[in-house]
C-alpha cells in the first residue's frame, strides 16, 4: 500500500465533485430533500439493436455497505481539508432510499431508465459515480457477449480474456457479465469460485515448448487430466500437431476423454475443416474443434461464411475489453426533487441536442408485448401513477417524431422495474447467474430478428405515454419562459 490510509470502503470510489456537492447540500440544509434520479444511456453500444443489462448484484452490494470508514474520513480531513462538522455528518451516512431496477439479463434500449433511485438528495448524489462505473462496464460486456452469441448461435463460447482485461476487477466482473450475455464458461478460476460460473480451459504453447515435443507434452497433460483438449499449432498444425494429438488419444484410449484440439493461429477456416476431416477419419467424431486468436463477432461471421468447422470459440481480448467500443455512455440524471413545501417538483435538463433533453418526473417503464405473436411492440415510459394494462387500445408514438404512431390492442404491459431496495434494505434476492442467462435468452425471443441483426438493426421503439410527453413539453416550456425572463430582466 502506498499511503497510510487503508482502502477499506468504497464510499470514496467517486468523483470529488460528488462530495463537494454533498457538502453544499448539507451546508444549506437541503441534504434530506427527497430526490429521484434515473440511470440510462442515450445510445446503444456497437451499433447494436439492444443491450443486455448487467451489474445489479454489485450495485446492491455497494449500496448495502455504503459508508465512510474511519480512514476515508481521515483522508478527507487530512489530505483534502474537509471540515470536522461535515465529516461528522457523513460519518453516520448510510444509503436509506428506495431503488427500482431492471433485472440482470433484461433487454435495455436507449433513453429508458435502467435504475430509479429515490433517496435523500445527498445519498442519491454520492452514489452516482460508482453506479455508473458498475453498470456501464458490465452492461457493455454483457451486450458484447450477446452480440457474439447471436453470430455463434448453438456452438459454445468460452471467455478467455483475463490477461487482456483492464485490470483484475474488470476480468472477474467482466467474466460474470459475459455469462449473462450468453457465454457458456470462463477460464478465470476466481470468477468461477466467486460466481459459480463453469470454468474451462486447455493448455498453452509454453507447455509444449517446456517439454520440447507435443508428444511428450500431451502425454504429460493426460497423466493428470482426464479431460483433454490438445493445442496443436505450436510447430506445424497439419503435419505434426493434429497427427500427434490423434496418436496420443489412440494410445491412451479410455484412460482419457479426448475432447478435441485447439487451433490458435493460421487460417482458421482451412485448418478447422482439415482438423475435422482428420479427427473424423481417425474415428474421433465426437472430438471438438476449439479455436481462438483475436476473435470477435465479425471474424466469426466471416469464418462461418467460409464453412469453418468449429465447435467451441475461445474469445478473449475483443470480448473482455469491448474492443470496438470501449465505453457505454450511461448517465445518471435527476428527474424530480422535493421543494421547500415538501412537494415533489419535476426537473429537466435542456440541450440543443434533442436526444440530450431529459424526460422529467418519476416514471415507470413497461414492455408492450403482443399477446398473439409473443413479440415486443416497443417499450413504453409512463408517469408513475399510470398503468397501461388498464387500456384496451394503447397509442404508441415516437417521442420526437410524434406523427409516427400506432395503436396496440391485445397486449401485455410488463413492468420492467423491480423494487430491489426499500428504505436502505436490500429486499431482492439475486437469482443464480445461469438463470439470468436464461432470462436474457428468453427476452431475446421477444424481439423480431430485425432488431437483433448485428449490422444496421432496426430501431426498437421506446415511447412516452401521452401524459409523460405532455409533462416533458410543459417542463420545456417552463424553462423556455425562465430563460426569456432572465434575458429580458
Ligand X SMILES: O=C(O)c1cccnc1
Ligand Y SMILES: O=P(O)(O)OC[C@H]1O[C@H](OP(=O)(O)OP(=O)(O)O)[C@H](O)[C@@H]1O
Among 266, 329, 424, 431, binds ligand ATP (CB under 6 A): 266
Q: Which stretch binds ligand ATP (CB under 6 A): 9-17, 244-252, 290-298, 430-438?
A: 290-298
In the range 167-206, which residues lie near ligand X by CB under 6 A? 187, 201-202
Q: Are 232 and 241 in contact (CB under 8 A)?
A: yes
Measured CA to CA, the distance from residue 100 to residue 444 in angstroms comes to 22
Cell output for 398: 415516437
Binding mask 284-323 for ligand Y (x = CB under 6 A): --------xxxx------------------xxxxx-----
Binding mask 412-451 for ligand X (x = CB under 6 A): ----------------------------------------
Which of 352, 261, 353, 266 lies closest to 312, judged by CA? 261
> Residue for cell digits 396496440?
408
Residue 151 touching ligand ATP (CB under 6 A): no
Q: What is the DSSP string of 341-366?
A: TS-EEE-----SSGGGS---S-EEEE
In the range 206-225, which residues lie near ligand Y by CB under 6 A? 206
Q: Which stretch binds ligand ATP (CB under 6 A): 22-30, 141-149, 259-267, 346-354?
A: 259-267
Q: Are 314 and 158 in contact (CB under 8 A)?
A: yes
Q: What's the closest the beta carbon of residue 282 comes to ligand Y, in angstroms?
A: 24
Instruction: List C-alpha distances in Å: 199 to 160, 189, 193, 194, 282.
Output: 10, 6, 9, 11, 29
Q: What's the closest the beta carbon of residue 132 comes to ligand Y, in angstroms?
A: 27
Residue 160 touching ligand X (CB under 6 A): yes
Cell output for 179: 455469462
Q: What is the DSSP string of 192-257?
A: HHHH---B-----HHHHHHHSSHHHHHHHHHHH-SEEEEE--SS-IIIIIHHHHHHHHHHHGGGSE
Among 49, 316, 361, 461, binds ligand X (CB under 6 A): 316
Among 129, 220, 293, 466, binds ligand ATP (CB under 6 A): 293
Helix (H, G, I), strand (E, B) or coil at 460: coil
Partner interacting with residue 268 (select from ligand ATP, ligand Y, ligand X, none; CB below 5-8 Å by kind) = ligand ATP
Residue 306 touching ligand ATP (CB under 6 A): yes
Give the residue closest to ligand X by C-beta: 201
Question: How many chain residues touch ligand ATP (CB under 6 A)?
Answer: 12
Q: Are 111 and 42 in contact (CB under 8 A)?
A: yes
**Interacting residues toward ligand ATP by CB under 6 A:** 265-269, 293-295, 299, 302-303, 306
Amino acid at each position: 500500500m502506498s499511503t497510510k490510509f487503508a482502502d477499506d470502503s468504497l464510499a470514496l470510489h467517486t468523483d470529488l465533485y460528488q462530495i463537494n456537492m454533498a457538502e453544499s447540500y448539507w451546508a444549506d440544509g437541503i441534504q434530506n430533500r427527497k430526490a429521484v434520479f434515473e440511470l440510462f444511456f442515450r445510445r446503444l453500444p456497437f451499433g447494436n439493436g439492444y443491450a443486455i443489462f448487467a451489474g445489479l448484484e454489485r450495485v446492491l452490494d455497494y449500496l448495502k455497505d455504503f459508508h465512510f470508514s474511519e480512514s476515508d474520513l481521515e483522508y478527507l480531513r487530512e489530505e483534502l481539508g474537509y471540515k470536522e462538522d461535515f465529516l461528522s455528518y457523513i460519518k453516520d451516512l448510510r444509503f436509506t432510499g428506495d431503488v427500482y431496477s431492471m433485472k440482470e439479463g433484461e433487454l435495455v434500449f436507449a433513453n429508458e431508465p435502467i435504475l430509479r433511485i429515490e433517496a435523500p438528495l445527498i445519498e442519491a448524489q454520492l452514489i452516482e459515480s460508482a453506479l455508473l462505473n458498475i453498470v456501464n462496464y458490465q452492461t457493455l460486456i454483457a451486450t458484447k457477449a450477446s452480440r457474439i452469441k447471436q453470430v455463434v448461435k448453438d456452438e459454445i463460447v468460452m471467455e478467455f480474456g483475463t490477461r487482456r482485461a483492464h485490470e483484475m476487477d474488470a476480468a472477474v466482473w467482466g467474466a460474470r457479465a459475459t455469462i449473462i450475455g450468453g457465454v457458456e464458461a470462463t477460464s478465470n478460476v476466481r470468477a468461477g469460485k466467486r460466481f459459480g460460473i463453469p470454468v474451462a480451459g486447455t493448455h498453452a504453447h509454453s507447455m509444449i515448448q517446456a517439454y520440447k515435443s507435443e508428444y511428450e507434452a500431451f502425454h504429460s497433460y493426460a497423466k493428470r487430466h482426464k479431460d483433454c483438449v490438445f493445442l496443436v499449432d505450436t510447430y506445424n498444425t497439419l503435419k505434426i500437431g493434429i497427427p500427434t494429438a490423434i496418436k496420443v488419444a489412440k494410445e491412451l484410449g479410455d484412460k482419457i476423454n479426448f475432447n478435441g484440439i485447439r487451433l490458435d493461429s493460421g487460417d482458421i477456416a482451412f485448418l478447422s475443416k482439415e482438423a475435422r476431416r482428420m479427427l473424423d477419419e481417425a474415428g474421433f467424431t465426437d472430438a471438438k474443434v476449439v479455436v481462438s486468436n483475436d476473435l470477435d463477432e465479425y471474424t466469426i461471421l466471416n469464418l462461418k461464411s467460409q464453412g469453418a468447422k468449429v465447435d467451441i470459440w475461445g474469445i478473449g481480448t475483443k470480448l473482455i475489453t469491448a474492443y470496438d467500443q470501449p465505453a457505454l455512455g450511461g448517465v445518471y440524471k435527476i428527474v424530480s426533487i422535493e421543494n421547500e413545501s415538501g412537494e415533489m417538483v419535476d426537473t429537466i435538463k435542456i440541450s440543443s441536442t434533442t436526444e440530450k433533453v431529459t424526460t422529467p418526473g418519476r416514471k415507470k417503464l413497461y414492455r408492450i408485448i403482443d399477446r398473439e405473436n409473443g413479440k415486443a411492440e416497443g417499450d413504453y415510459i409512463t408517469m408513475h401513477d399510470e398503468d397501461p394494462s388498464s387500456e384496451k387500445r394503447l397509442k404508441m408514438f415516437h417521442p420526437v417524431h410524434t406523427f409516427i404512431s400506432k395503436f396496440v390492442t391485445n397486449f401485455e404491459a410488463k413492468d420492467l422495474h423491480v423494487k430491489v431496495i426499500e428504505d436502505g434494505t436490500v429486499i431482492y434476492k439475486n437469482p443464480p447467474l445461469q438463470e439470468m442467462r436464461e432470462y436474457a435468452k428468453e427476452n431475446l425471443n421477444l424481439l423480431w430478428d430485425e432488431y437483433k441483426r448485428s449490422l444496421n438493426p432496426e430501431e426498437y421503439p421506446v415511447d412516452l405515454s401521452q401524459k409523460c410527453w405532455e409533462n416533458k413539453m410543459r417542463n420545456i416550456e417552463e424553462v423556455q419562459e425562465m430563460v426569456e425572463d432572465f434575458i429580458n430582466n
